[in-house]
Amino acid sequence: MAIEKVTPGRAARVLLLAALATGAVALLTPLFGSSTLSLAKAFRGEWPEAQMFFGVRLPRTLLSLLAGGALSVAGVLFQALLRDPLATPYTLGVSSGASLGAVVAICLGLHNLAGLPALWVAALAGAGVVLALVLAAAAEGRRMSACTATSIRWTARRWPGWPR
């Protein structure tokens, strides 16, 4: 099977199709749940349907779209920054750094840091430290794929389920 060349027209069609599919799913998702909703009653403002649709289901759907979009942008930035299509937070150890930060916050009994939940702050700090170390290692010689390979080997040696 030959790989087709990506043209601007083809890319636009794929993006349009993906946007239409996302829009259709976003419109249909709030209609499903533990109880059925009548979209007509919700838009007329009748009490239980309107409250469930506009107050609960629609905001959750919109927030899930935003969260998914943010995660996809973060993944693309990760791969572009490291110039490696295989770079993920798991292979580079950033998720493990976040977990370590959260565990340290729990063990120290921290609950609140500067008005934010300490668990979030500690996880972000742990991930940031590991990311800084990965970027520093990657900056030496400008070989990003070597950095990824090194981090994969390092992670694999420490993961109990990995075959040796």
Q: What is the pLDDT along the chain (164 residues), one digit of tens a residue?
A: 567 788 888 889 999 999 999 999 988 888 888 888 888 888 888 888 889 988 989 999 999 999 999 989 888 888 887 777 777 777 778 888 999 999 999 999 888 877 889 999 999 999 999 888 877 777 765 555 666 666 666 665 665 555 55
CA separation (Å) from 17 to 13, 21, 54, 64, 81?
6, 6, 27, 20, 28
Which structural domain range is residue 114 located in? 85-164
My answer on whether 13 and 37 are in the same domain is yes
**Cα distance between residue 111 and residue 116, in whole Å:** 9
My answer on whether 61 and 5 are in the same domain is yes
My answer on whether 98 and 75 are in the same domain is no
Q: Quick one: pLDDT at residue 150? A: 66
Q: Quick one: pLDDT at residue 144? A: 52
My answer on whether 133 and 159 are in the same domain is yes
Q: Quick one: pLDDT at residue 24? A: 92
My answer on whether 132 and 70 are in the same domain is no
Q: Quick one: pLDDT at residue 80? A: 82
Domain boundary (22, 49, 82) is at 82
**Cα distance between residue 129 and residue 82, in whole Å:** 16
What tokens appear for 98 in the block? 């976040």
Q: Helices marked H in 29-111 — which ranges?
A: 39-44, 47-52, 58-82, 89-92, 94-108
**Residue found by looking up tokens 């008005």 in the block:** 115
What tokens appear for 51 in the block? 């409250």
What is the dihedral angle through the alpha carbons of 131, 91, 150, 121, rounded to the nearest 10 degrees?
A: 20
In sequence order, which residues have a C-beta less than 8 Å from that of residue 137 and are 6 or more positions away? Answer: 147, 150, 151
Helix (H, G, I), strand (E, B) or coil at 117: strand
- Judge contact between 126 and 102, C-beta under 8 A: yes
Q: Quick one: pLDDT at residue 12? A: 93
